[in-house]
Amino acid sequence: MMPKNAIIVGGTSGIGLATAKLFLEKGINVAVIGRDVQKANAAQDELMAHSTEHATVRSFSGDASDYATIAAIYEQLMESWETLDILVHVAGISGRRWGDGPLHECTVEGWNMVMNNNLNSVYYSNQLALRIMKKQQFGAIVNISSILGMLGTQDHFTTHAYAASRGAVISMSRSAAVYYAKDGIRINTVCPGLLDTPMSQRAVTNDEIRDALTFYQPLAPHVGYPQDVAAAIAFLASDEAKFITGIALPVDGGWLAQ
């Protein structure tokens, strides 16, 4: 049996990097895409330790919010891959430093920056993958959203452009899952709670927020890790989930359950 091939957009750190390691250990060829050249090179070196003769890794640097850049990477990969079996889209930003916040304070720059990176980029990667998978008549897509796309919050997590972008990813994925089911393509979303990742350091290092997490995420240790989400992604991308499509799976320590 030929090994599967997976693209991970945003695969050079955090959730994406943890997922890439897990895929390689399962014998899946992986291509990771990250914005920063140095991080892409470092991820390549780190992932080589997990690669085998049956599962290889390639890394690319490129802006996920630039359609032409991502399209060129897909084209390059498909010159050597016979199939694209899995797409995982992790790439996204926290827009607070760009002006995201409560809706009456959110700047136009912050709104547009978040939507471009968190929603447009998912549209780009998904469209390119679906054009390949539709011809194949099979494939699995897992998009990363957030628990903040599923519920409202007060106080610590009032970034409304971010919440809107993450909710839109869920809606797009769910609608597309129904439409492309006839083509043998499954599309699911994973919605993490607060994780200890590079993007979340402002929150996870804030003592007040860490205290609040004992309420928000009652399951100890009250903060999640990239490996927790990687395991959920790997399941949804696998043949074990062959009858699952269109779901938004919380990995949130119990946040949504309250």
Active site residues: 162
CA angle 109–205–207, rounded 5-degree value: 110
d(CA 164, CA 104): 14
Strands of 86-89's sheet in order across: 57-61, 29-34, 5-9, 86-89, 139-144, 185-192, 248-251
- The rounded radius of gyration (Å) of the Cα atoms in the chain is 18
* Residue reference for tokens 């250990």: 25
